[in-house]
Amino acid sequence: MKPFIKFLTIAIFATTFLTSCNQKQTKTEAATALAQPNLTDTKGYELMVSKCYICHFESPDPAKMDQMIAPPMLRVKEHYLPNYQNKEDFVKAITYIVNNPSEEKTLMPGAIKKFNLMPKLNYNQDELKLIAETIYEYDFGSAPKMKMAMMDDLQLNDGNPWTLKPETIEKADSILNSLYGFKSDNIKDYNQLGKDLFEQAKFIMLDKSYTGAKFDQIHNFFSGVEGDMHALIEEKSIENAKNTVDDLKLKFNNFYNFFTAE
């Protein structure tokens, strides 16, 4: 009996020891994975720092909000990735807009309003491509949407809706029509709907005749629906896409509580 117990004890000890060793091993692997430099020592990253971070922060920094002169690169990627999910398209889109910044092609109308159009600078095209590839591959992490509860921030103009040009209201009507007229069970159609809605919303966002408090409220409204539009553009699940469309319908109905034709 005794030798058996001894064997058992050794067996148990050995198993425990081995298991804990295994766990240690996995932990070390995880630690190594986390400690990986995340592309920061690559040529592409270096170029991004020297050519783009002159104006762009890498990610939003609440302490430096007043020093921002361009949207953080993390936000740029958040806007471009849903629209250009494969690397080749993504790189093409980034290099195109950097070479030809324009209101027509922008995916960030809010940033243009806030910071003005990105200046057109001359870049070495090979370097620019490398930078665009880095933006695609680099993990910028995530930052909470600055104004998640945007709709709650919407304010009336001394108790009355803000008056907008008839063209603007027509655009909003047309967005609402697109939403209510939309019917499909194909996820691709939902993705396209997201793009179409964004294109229409852009016109309102970029309208130069709105300034001051009125513009801030327009901006508040559209920041609140922009996330939904991006989600729709990249959505893979038809169920989620339908929910997002319903959400957008509610939000656009609310538009008329805050804005009316002049």
Q: Which residues bind ligand HEC (CB under 6 A)?
A: 51-52, 54-56, 70-71, 76, 94, 97-98, 101, 106-108, 111-112, 115, 117-119, 121, 123, 128, 131
User: What is the rounded end-to-end Cα distance, in angstroms, of the chain?
Assistant: 97
Tell me how far, at minimum, the Cβ of 46 lies from ligand HEC, in Å. 12
CB 231 within 8 A of CB 244: yes
Closest CA to 122 of 102, 100, 107: 100
Tell me how far, at minimum, the Cβ of 122 lies from ligand HEC, in Å. 11
Location of structure tokens 């920041």: 223
CA dist., res. 78 & res. 86, Å (int): 14
Tell me how far, at minimum, the Cβ of 39 lies from ligand HEC, in Å. 15
Tell me how far, at minimum, the Cβ of 135 lies from ligand HEC, in Å. 6
Tell me how far, at minimum, the Cβ of 98 lies from ligand HEC, in Å. 5
CB 124 within 8 A of CB 194: no
CA dist., res. 235 & res. 230, Å (int): 8
| Gyration radius of the chain over CA positions | 25
Q: Give whichever of 118 and 175 is closer to ligand HEC, judged by the CB atom.
A: 118
Tell me how far, at minimum, the Cβ of 55 lies from ligand HEC, in Å. 3
Report how far Cα 85 is from the mean position of its chain's Cα atoms: 12
Q: b/e per residue, 198-222, with b = 16+ CB within 10 A?
A: beebbebbebeebeeeebebbbbbb
